[in-house]
Amino acid sequence: MTGHPLRLPADPAKVAKNYLATVIPALVAAPAPTFGLIVPPEWTPAAAPRVVVFDDSGPVLWPVTTSPTLRVTVWSDGRDRSRRIAGMCLGVLLAHRIPGIASITDPTLLVEDTDPHNQGVMCSFTVRALARTVAV
Amino acid sequence: MARVKVTLNRPEVGLLLRTAWNVEVEALGRRLAKAAGRPGHPRDVNVRTYTTDRHVVEVSVPAYRQARYGALSRAAAEVGLKVRGRP
Protein backbone atom coordinates (compact mmCIF):
# COMPACT_ATOMS: atom_id res chain seq x y z
CA MET A 1 0.00 0.00 0.00
CA THR A 2 1.52 3.25 -1.10
CA GLY A 3 0.26 6.80 -1.23
CA HIS A 4 -0.96 6.95 2.36
CA PRO A 5 0.11 9.79 4.63
CA LEU A 6 2.81 8.78 7.08
CA ARG A 7 1.02 7.80 10.27
CA LEU A 8 1.96 5.47 13.11
CA PRO A 9 -0.25 3.08 15.05
CA ALA A 10 -1.08 4.43 18.50
CA ASP A 11 -0.19 2.45 21.62
CA PRO A 12 -3.45 2.19 23.57
CA ALA A 13 -2.09 -0.60 25.79
CA LYS A 14 0.51 1.75 27.22
CA VAL A 15 -2.00 4.61 27.51
CA ALA A 16 -4.43 2.35 29.38
CA LYS A 17 -1.66 1.03 31.63
CA ASN A 18 -0.53 4.53 32.57
CA TYR A 19 -4.10 5.66 33.18
CA LEU A 20 -4.95 2.65 35.36
CA ALA A 21 -1.75 3.25 37.35
CA THR A 22 -2.97 6.73 38.28
CA VAL A 23 -6.53 5.72 39.18
CA ILE A 24 -6.69 2.16 40.49
CA PRO A 25 -4.43 2.27 43.60
CA ALA A 26 -6.87 4.66 45.33
CA LEU A 27 -9.82 2.37 44.55
CA VAL A 28 -8.57 -1.00 45.85
CA ALA A 29 -7.37 -2.29 49.20
CA ALA A 30 -3.67 -2.01 50.06
CA PRO A 31 -1.10 -3.12 49.06
CA ALA A 32 -1.31 -0.98 45.95
CA PRO A 33 -0.79 -2.98 42.77
CA THR A 34 2.10 -2.29 40.42
CA PHE A 35 1.41 -1.71 36.72
CA GLY A 36 3.31 -2.67 33.62
CA LEU A 37 3.33 -4.12 30.13
CA ILE A 38 4.97 -7.39 31.17
CA VAL A 39 4.85 -9.63 34.22
CA PRO A 40 8.36 -9.68 35.70
CA PRO A 41 9.87 -13.17 35.73
CA GLU A 42 10.80 -12.70 39.40
CA TRP A 43 7.25 -11.81 40.49
CA THR A 44 5.85 -14.01 43.29
CA PRO A 45 2.49 -13.96 45.11
CA ALA A 46 4.32 -12.45 48.12
CA ALA A 47 4.94 -9.27 46.12
CA ALA A 48 2.36 -6.53 45.53
CA PRO A 49 -0.37 -7.44 43.03
CA ARG A 50 0.64 -6.94 39.42
CA VAL A 51 -1.60 -5.47 36.71
CA VAL A 52 -0.40 -6.01 33.14
CA VAL A 53 -2.00 -4.63 29.97
CA PHE A 54 -1.24 -6.62 26.81
CA ASP A 55 -1.92 -5.66 23.20
CA ASP A 56 -3.37 -8.74 21.48
CA SER A 57 -3.71 -7.06 18.05
CA GLY A 58 -6.92 -6.75 16.08
CA PRO A 59 -8.66 -4.97 13.23
CA VAL A 60 -7.05 -2.00 11.49
CA LEU A 61 -8.54 0.70 9.26
CA TRP A 62 -5.38 2.19 7.83
CA PRO A 63 -4.43 5.06 7.90
CA VAL A 64 -7.23 6.14 10.25
CA THR A 65 -7.61 3.89 13.25
CA THR A 66 -6.48 0.68 14.87
CA SER A 67 -8.66 -1.24 17.32
CA PRO A 68 -6.57 -3.83 19.11
CA THR A 69 -7.88 -6.15 21.79
CA LEU A 70 -6.39 -5.10 25.12
CA ARG A 71 -5.98 -7.93 27.61
CA VAL A 72 -5.73 -6.86 31.24
CA THR A 73 -4.47 -9.56 33.59
CA VAL A 74 -4.04 -9.20 37.35
CA TRP A 75 -1.69 -11.42 39.35
CA SER A 76 -2.04 -11.53 43.15
CA ASP A 77 -1.95 -13.85 46.15
CA GLY A 78 -5.67 -14.55 46.21
CA ARG A 79 -8.67 -15.07 44.04
CA ASP A 80 -10.82 -12.36 45.64
CA ARG A 81 -8.06 -9.75 45.46
CA SER A 82 -7.37 -10.49 41.79
CA ARG A 83 -11.06 -10.38 40.98
CA ARG A 84 -11.56 -7.11 42.79
CA ILE A 85 -8.65 -5.38 41.06
CA ALA A 86 -9.53 -6.78 37.63
CA GLY A 87 -13.17 -5.84 38.07
CA MET A 88 -12.16 -2.32 39.07
CA CYS A 89 -9.92 -2.03 35.98
CA LEU A 90 -12.80 -3.23 33.79
CA GLY A 91 -15.20 -0.73 35.31
CA VAL A 92 -12.77 2.18 35.08
CA LEU A 93 -11.79 1.46 31.46
CA LEU A 94 -15.45 1.41 30.41
CA ALA A 95 -16.55 4.37 32.52
CA HIS A 96 -13.77 6.92 32.11
CA ARG A 97 -12.76 8.93 29.07
CA ILE A 98 -9.06 8.22 28.64
CA PRO A 99 -7.04 10.78 26.66
CA GLY A 100 -5.41 9.00 23.71
CA ILE A 101 -8.03 6.27 23.34
CA ALA A 102 -11.10 7.14 21.28
CA SER A 103 -13.38 4.48 22.75
CA ILE A 104 -13.27 1.32 24.82
CA THR A 105 -15.97 -1.24 24.06
CA ASP A 106 -16.80 -4.94 23.89
CA PRO A 107 -15.70 -6.16 27.32
CA THR A 108 -15.39 -9.88 28.01
CA LEU A 109 -16.07 -11.22 31.46
CA LEU A 110 -13.37 -12.15 33.95
CA VAL A 111 -11.57 -15.49 33.68
CA GLU A 112 -9.56 -16.88 36.57
CA ASP A 113 -6.77 -19.40 36.79
CA THR A 114 -3.56 -20.10 38.63
CA ASP A 115 -0.34 -19.24 36.86
CA PRO A 116 1.73 -22.45 36.64
CA HIS A 117 4.94 -20.36 36.42
CA ASN A 118 4.70 -18.29 39.61
CA GLN A 119 1.64 -19.75 41.43
CA GLY A 120 -0.07 -16.34 41.37
CA VAL A 121 -3.83 -16.23 41.03
CA MET A 122 -4.68 -14.57 37.73
CA CYS A 123 -7.84 -12.77 36.75
CA SER A 124 -8.13 -11.51 33.19
CA PHE A 125 -10.48 -9.79 30.75
CA THR A 126 -10.28 -8.13 27.35
CA VAL A 127 -11.71 -4.95 25.82
CA ARG A 128 -11.50 -3.37 22.38
CA ALA A 129 -9.60 -0.07 22.27
CA LEU A 130 -10.23 2.12 19.23
CA ALA A 131 -7.48 4.71 18.73
CA ARG A 132 -6.59 7.14 15.97
CA THR A 133 -3.29 6.64 14.26
CA VAL A 134 -0.64 9.19 15.23
CA ALA A 135 0.94 11.82 12.99
CA VAL A 136 4.72 11.73 12.94
CA MET B 1 -39.22 3.46 -4.39
CA ALA B 2 -40.73 0.14 -3.54
CA ARG B 3 -39.62 -1.26 -0.20
CA VAL B 4 -38.77 -4.93 -0.04
CA LYS B 5 -40.23 -6.41 3.11
CA VAL B 6 -37.90 -8.98 4.65
CA THR B 7 -39.17 -11.24 7.38
CA LEU B 8 -36.36 -12.99 9.24
CA ASN B 9 -38.20 -14.98 11.89
CA ARG B 10 -39.33 -17.72 9.53
CA PRO B 11 -38.73 -21.45 9.83
CA GLU B 12 -36.76 -21.43 6.57
CA VAL B 13 -34.28 -18.87 7.93
CA GLY B 14 -33.90 -20.92 11.11
CA LEU B 15 -33.15 -23.97 8.98
CA LEU B 16 -30.52 -22.00 7.05
CA LEU B 17 -28.80 -20.89 10.27
CA ARG B 18 -28.66 -24.48 11.50
CA THR B 19 -27.52 -26.12 8.28
CA ALA B 20 -26.40 -23.82 5.47
CA TRP B 21 -22.93 -22.71 6.64
CA ASN B 22 -21.82 -25.67 8.74
CA VAL B 23 -18.77 -26.36 6.55
CA GLU B 24 -17.58 -22.72 6.65
CA VAL B 25 -18.21 -22.37 10.38
CA GLU B 26 -16.28 -25.53 11.17
CA ALA B 27 -13.41 -24.56 8.86
CA LEU B 28 -13.13 -21.20 10.64
CA GLY B 29 -13.20 -22.98 13.99
CA ARG B 30 -10.35 -25.23 12.88
CA ARG B 31 -8.29 -22.22 11.73
CA LEU B 32 -8.88 -20.54 15.08
CA ALA B 33 -7.94 -23.72 16.94
CA LYS B 34 -4.76 -24.07 14.89
CA ALA B 35 -3.79 -20.46 15.64
CA ALA B 36 -4.57 -20.88 19.36
CA GLY B 37 -2.63 -24.12 19.76
CA ARG B 38 1.00 -24.87 20.46
CA PRO B 39 2.98 -27.27 18.29
CA GLY B 40 3.42 -30.51 20.20
CA HIS B 41 0.58 -29.83 22.66
CA PRO B 42 -2.56 -31.07 20.91
CA ARG B 43 -4.50 -31.23 24.17
CA ASP B 44 -4.17 -27.49 24.74
CA VAL B 45 -7.07 -26.68 22.42
CA ASN B 46 -10.54 -28.18 22.54
CA VAL B 47 -12.97 -27.89 19.65
CA ARG B 48 -16.62 -28.78 20.10
CA THR B 49 -19.47 -28.32 17.65
CA TYR B 50 -23.12 -28.12 18.54
CA THR B 51 -26.32 -26.63 17.25
CA THR B 52 -28.62 -24.27 19.10
CA ASP B 53 -30.74 -22.01 16.94
CA ARG B 54 -27.62 -21.96 14.72
CA HIS B 55 -24.55 -24.07 14.10
CA VAL B 56 -21.80 -23.31 16.64
CA VAL B 57 -18.10 -24.17 16.91
CA GLU B 58 -16.65 -23.72 20.37
CA VAL B 59 -12.86 -23.41 20.65
CA SER B 60 -11.50 -23.44 24.18
CA VAL B 61 -8.05 -23.26 25.77
CA PRO B 62 -7.02 -23.59 29.43
CA ALA B 63 -7.85 -20.30 31.18
CA TYR B 64 -4.22 -19.67 32.18
CA ARG B 65 -3.19 -19.72 28.49
CA GLN B 66 -5.67 -16.95 27.73
CA ALA B 67 -4.89 -14.92 30.89
CA ARG B 68 -1.10 -15.18 30.56
CA TYR B 69 -0.52 -15.47 26.81
CA GLY B 70 -3.79 -14.29 25.24
CA ALA B 71 -3.90 -17.54 23.26
CA LEU B 72 -7.48 -17.08 22.08
CA SER B 73 -7.55 -13.31 21.61
CA ARG B 74 -4.34 -13.37 19.57
CA ALA B 75 -5.65 -16.30 17.52
CA ALA B 76 -8.85 -14.36 16.88
CA ALA B 77 -6.86 -11.38 15.59
CA GLU B 78 -4.85 -13.76 13.40
CA VAL B 79 -7.91 -15.20 11.63
CA GLY B 80 -9.70 -11.83 11.52
CA LEU B 81 -12.37 -12.36 14.18
CA LYS B 82 -13.45 -9.61 16.53
CA VAL B 83 -13.32 -10.40 20.24
CA ARG B 84 -16.40 -9.57 22.26
CA GLY B 85 -18.31 -10.92 25.20
CA ARG B 86 -21.25 -13.20 24.66
CA PRO B 87 -24.44 -11.09 24.82
ipTM of the complex: 0.90
Whether A113 sits inside 8 A of B74 (CB atoms) is no
Contacts of residue A68 in chain B, CB cutoff 8 Å?
77
3-state secondary structure of B27: helix
Chain A: closest CA distance from residue B12 (Å): 31
- Residue B4: pLDDT above 70? yes
In this prediction, residue A1 carries a pLDDT of 61
Instruction: Check if the beta carbon of residue A53 is closer than 8 Å to that of residue A127.
Output: no
- Residue A59: pLDDT above 80? yes
Residue B66 touches partner A, C-beta closer than 8 Å? yes
- Residue B1: pLDDT above 80? no
Count of CB contacts below 8 A, A vs B?
Answer: 67
- Residue A118: pLDDT above 80? yes
Contacts of residue A38 in chain B, CB cutoff 8 Å?
none
| Residue A3: band (very low, low, confident or very high) from pLDDT cuts 50, 70, 90 | confident
Mean pLDDT across B8-25: 90
Whether A111 sits inside 8 A of B63 (CB atoms) is yes
Instruction: Check if the beta carbon of residue A106 is closer than 8 Å to that of residue A91.
Output: no
Instruction: Check if the beta carbon of residue A52 is closer than 8 Å to that of residue A72.
Output: yes
Length of chain B: 87
The enclosing H or E element of B49 equals strand B46-51
Residue B13 touches partner A, C-beta closer than 8 Å? no
In this prediction, residue B87 carries a pLDDT of 78
Could you tell me which residue, A110 or B44, shows the higher pLDDT?
A: A110
| Residue B43: band (very low, low, confident or very high) from pLDDT cuts 50, 70, 90 | confident
Whole-angstrom distance, CA of residue A29 vs CA of residue B33:
39
In this prediction, residue A14 carries a pLDDT of 97
In this prediction, residue A30 carries a pLDDT of 87
DSSP letter at B38 equals B
In this prediction, residue B69 carries a pLDDT of 94
Contacts of residue B85 in chain A, CB cutoff 8 Å?
106-109
Give the residue on A whose Cα is nearest the Cα of B77: A58
Instruction: Check if the beta carbon of residue A8 is closer than 8 Å to that of residue A133.
Output: yes
Whether B76 sits inside 8 A of A109 (CB atoms) is no
- Single out the residue of A98, A79, A85 nearest to residue A27, CA to CA: A85
- Residue A46: pLDDT above 80? yes
Whole-angstrom distance, CA of residue B29 vs CA of residue B41:
18
Whole-angstrom distance, CA of residue B13 vs CA of residue B15:
5
Contacts of residue B79 in chain A, CB cutoff 8 Å?
none
Instruction: Check if the beta carbon of residue A124 is closer than 8 Å to that of residue B67.
Output: yes
Mean pLDDT across B47-58: 94
Handedness of CA B82, B85, B86, B87 (dihedral sign): negative
Mean pLDDT across A78-106: 96
| Residue B5: band (very low, low, confident or very high) from pLDDT cuts 50, 70, 90 | confident
- What does pTM read for this prediction? 0.90
Residue B40 touches partner A, C-beta closer than 8 Å? no
Instruction: Tell me what percent of the residues of chain B surpass a pLDDT of 70.
Output: 99
Vertex B67, ends A76 and A36: CA angle to 5°? 60
Chain A: closest CA distance from residue B85 (Å): 4
3-state secondary structure of B25: helix
